Amino acid sequence: MTPITYELIKTDKQTGARLGRVHTPHGSFDTPTFMPVGTLATVKTMSPEELEQIDAKIILSNTYHLWLRPGEEIIREAGGLHSFMNWKGAILTDSGGFQVFSLSDMREITEEGVYFRNHLNGDKLFLSPEKAMQIQNALGSDIMMAFDECPPYPATYEYMKQSVERTSRWAERCLKAHERPEEQGLFGIVQGGEFEDLRKMSAQDLVSLDFPGYAVGGLSVGEPKEVMNRVLEFTTPLLPADKPRYLMGVGSPDSLIDGAIRGIDMFDCVLPTRIARNGTCMTSTGRLVVRNAKYAKDFRPIDEHCDCHVCKNYTRAYIRHLIKCNETFGFRLTTYHNLYFLVKLMKQVRAAISEDRLGDFREEFFERYGFNKP
Ligand SMILES: CNc1nc2c(CCc3ccc(C(F)(F)F)cc3)c3[nH]c(N)nc(=O)c3cc2[nH]1
Ligand SMILES: [Zn+2]
Kindly give the distance from the C-alpha atom of residue 333 to the centroid of ligand 2, in angstroms, as a whole number: 9
pLDDT at 106: 67
Kindly give the distance from the C-alpha atom of residue 206 to the centroid of ligand 1, in angstroms, as a whole number: 18
CA-nearest residue for atom 2, ligand 1, is: 249
**Percentages (nearest 5) of helix, strand, coil residues in the chain:** 45, 20, 40
Q: How far apart are CA 176 and CA 173, in angstroms?
A: 5
Kindly give the distance from the C-alpha atom of residue 189 to the centroid of ligand 1, in angstroms, as a whole number: 11
85-98 tens-digit pLDDT = 999 999 999 999 89
Kindly provide the b/e burial profile for residues 82-103, where b requires at least 16 CB atoms within 10 angstroms of the residue's own CB.
bebbebebbbbbbbbbbbbbeb
Q: Could you report the predicted ipTM of this complex, rounded to two decimals?
A: 0.99
CA-nearest residue for atom 25, ligand 1, is: 217
* Nearest bound ligand to the CA of residue 305: 2
Q: How far apart are CA 115 and CA 106, in angstroms?
A: 8
Average pLDDT (137-141) is 98
CB 256 within 8 A of CB 220: no
The answer on pLDDT for 278 being more than 70 is yes
Q: Residue 69 belongs to what H/E stretch? A: none
* Nearest bound ligand to the CA of residue 144: 1
pLDDT at 103: 76
Pocket test for ligand 1, best of 94, 142, 219, 223 (most atoms within 8 A of CB): 94
* Nearest bound ligand to the CA of residue 273: 1
CA-nearest residue for atom 3, ligand 1, is: 249
Angle 347-348-353 from CA coordinates, rounded to 5°: 100
Average pLDDT (127-151) is 97
CB 178 within 8 A of CB 227: no
CB 281 within 8 A of CB 337: yes
Any residues with CB less than 8 A from the CB of 75 and at least 6 apart, and which?
41, 66, 81, 84, 138, 139, 140
Kindly list the protein residues whose Cβ atom lies closer than 6 A to any atom of ligand 1.
37-39, 60-62, 94-95, 97-98, 145, 148, 150, 189, 217-218, 220-221, 248-249, 268
Q: How far apart are CA 219 and CA 148, in angstroms?
A: 13
CA-nearest residue for atom 20, ligand 1, is: 98
pLDDT at 231: 98
CA-nearest residue for atom 4, ligand 1, is: 249
Average pLDDT (168-190) is 98
Active-site residues: which are they? 94, 268
pLDDT at 221: 95
pLDDT > 70: what percent of the chain? 98
Average pLDDT (35-59) is 98
- For residue 139, the 8-state DSSP code is H
Note the pTM of the prediction, 2 decimals. Answer: 0.98
